[in-house]
Amino acid sequence: MKALVLAGGAGTRLRPFSYSMPKQLIPIANKPVLAHVLENIRDLAVTDVGIIVGDRSAEIVEAVGDGSRFGLRITYIPQTEPLGLAHCVLLARDFLGEDDFVMYLGDNMLPEGVRDIAAEFRVRRPAAQVVVHKVANPQAFGVVELGADGSLLRLVEKPRVPRSDLALIGVYFFTPAVHEAVAAISPSARGELEITDAVQWLLSSGAQVTVSRYTGYWRDTGRVEDVLECNRDLLRDLEHSVEGVVDESCHIRGPIVVEAGARVTRSCIDGPAIIGAGTVVEDSHIGPNTSIGRGCELRGTHIDFSIALDGARVSHVTGLHGSLIGRGATVGPRPDRTAHHRLVVGDHTHIEVSA
């Protein structure tokens, strides 16, 4: 079995971050979302992976390389414009050949993995096996409708009036039968080749299509709120490890990771929290559920339930909560200490200040 990972999306809901980096490289627990995805695929005993890339392909290639550090062989497949998930299958036809494959959205987090579901597919080999999860807002997803016996009746993409709360969550297993389906469908009203239409074509043609329920934690990391919540969830299983320097004046509570080369001085850290390599923390309070990237500087700061990306600098700012601070960003007081704010704000930025 091979894998097809989709990493070409623009990530409009993650602006302004997605202006400067692919959304699949946003770090969760100091590791890019795409790295979590590739590790999950490796756990399925799959080694040949095709990655669909768009106009940010150079950054994806730089982050992933040839895949050897994940124990994978990576083939990059360019997509010049986003024309739907089924279009990605068309583009990957030569790579996929006549092999079965798992298709996996590159911005989805399923920390518990899908090993059991993959094993079920390998034994039964239906033409398609879709993975679903109960959601509160099914109208925002592709939704499956099941019969009384649990069999699949139909799939509907973003229904106005959902008849089910079981949403497709971006993991699909296919045999080569899907290629005929993809070739047979037409673009939807939004101009895309929908994978739901391809699966529905298989179902309507009499092919076997099965549904597997994923009951673990799942998050589409398409919004800042989702990124922070997912970071919180992954940090719950953090194993305490201090390879950097934490001086004797510091107060540590709960599990923390201080990576090699990091230095923490006269500070308090309430875990779970990660301090990245080469980061300096002085006279600060790092609260729970916080990931600080590599090469950051935090001085005189209180921050919790937040993520600071590599190279961020935060000084003498207290009460930072639920924040996502970009690469190389600087947050601090005005040099003249006057009691007003100065902001340099990019497109689609969201800022909250106290009255």
pLDDT digits (tens, 9 = 90+) for 69-114: 999 999 999 998 888 899 999 999 999 999 999 999 988 889 999 9
With contact defined as beta carbons under 8 Å apart, do 23 and 56 qualify? no
In a domain, 218, yes or no: yes
What letter represents residue 164's amino acid? Answer: S
Q: Examine the pLDDT at 173 and tell me if it is beyond 70.
A: yes
State whether 87 and 126 are in the same domain.
yes
Q: Examine the pLDDT at 355 and tell me if it is beyond 90.
A: no
In a domain, 163, yes or no: yes
Task: Give the CATH number of the domain where residue 260 resides.
Answer: 2.160.10.10
DSSP 310-337: TT-EEES---EES-EE-TT-EE---TT-
State whether 157 and 60 are in the same domain.
yes
| Of the candidate ranges 96-100, 140-144, 349-353, the one whose mean pLDDT is the lowest | 349-353
State whether 131 and 280 are in the same domain.
no
The CA distance from 239 to 106, in Å, is: 26
Domain final position from 233, 259, 276: 233
The CA distance from 67 to 59, in Å, is: 14
Taking CA 21 as the corner, what is the angle to CA 263 and CA 227, rounded to the nearest 5 degrees? 70
Reported pTM: 0.89
State whether 49 and 173 are in the same domain.
yes
14-27 b/e (C-beta count within 10 Å ≥ 16 → b): bbebbeebbbbbbb
In a domain, 343, yes or no: no
State whether 225 and 88 are in the same domain.
yes
β 48-53/166-174 pair status: unpaired
Taking only the tens place, the pLDDT of each residue in 273-294 is: 999 999 999 999 999 999 999 9
State whether 211 and 242 are in the same domain.
no
- Which residues constitute the domain of residue 17? 2-233
pLDDT mean over 238-256: 94
State whether 203 and 267 are in the same domain.
no
Domain final position from 233, 251, 278: 233
Q: Which helix (H) or strand (E) holds 128?
A: strand 128-134
Specify the number of domains making up the chain: 2
State whether 77 and 130 are in the same domain.
yes
- Count how many Cα atoms sit within 13 Å of the Cα of residue 177 in the half-sphere of its side chain: 18
Among residues 244, 216, 219, the alpha carbon closest in space to that of 113 is found at 216
Residues constituting the chain: 355
What letter represents residue 318's amino acid? Answer: T
In a domain, 195, yes or no: yes
State whether 168 and 99 are in the same domain.
yes
In a domain, 349, yes or no: no
| Of the candidate ranges 95-109, 132-146, 331-345, the one whose mean pLDDT is the lowest | 331-345
The CA distance from 198 to 144, in Å, is: 14
Alpha-carbon separation of residue 341 from 181, 279, 322, 349, 355 (angstroms): 57, 27, 20, 16, 11
Give the contacts of 284 (CB within 8 A, at least 6 positions apart). 267, 268, 298, 299, 300, 301, 302, 303
Q: What is the pLDDT of residue 45?
A: 96
Burial of 314 (0-12, 13-18, 19+ CB in 10 A): buried
State whether 272 and 138 are in the same domain.
no
State whether 117 and 161 are in the same domain.
yes
Alpha-carbon separation of residue 117 from 44, 45, 102, 168, 211 (angstroms): 10, 13, 11, 14, 10
State whether 258 and 178 are in the same domain.
no
